[in-house]
């Protein structure tokens, strides 16, 4: 039983998948934040241009 637990703890299979998932989640959060910030400023810019026209 001790060998099985030691092998399980030492095993690194699946670690890279978890790391890639965390990186993808951080990138997605950055994209969502950027789009929400830019979306607001672009919307106000279009409203300003529409007001001039």
Q: CA angle 4-5-9, nearest 5°?
A: 120
Query: In this model, does residue 46 exceed pLDDT 90?
Result: no
Could you tell me the two tokens for 13?
């299979």
What's the pLDDT score for residue 23?
94
Hey, which bits of the chain come out as E strands?
none
- Note the pLDDT tens digit of each residue in 4-39: 777 766 766 666 778 888 999 999 999 999 888 888
Quick check: pTM over 0.85? no
Nearest to 35 by CA among 25, 27, 24: 27
């Amino acid at each position: 039983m001790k060998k099985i637990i030691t092998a399980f703890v030492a095993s690194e299979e699946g670690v890279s998948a978890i790391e890639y998932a965390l990186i993808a989640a951080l990138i997605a959060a950055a994209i969502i934040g950027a789009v929400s910030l830019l979306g607001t400023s672009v919307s106000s810019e279009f409203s300003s241009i529409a007001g001039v026209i």
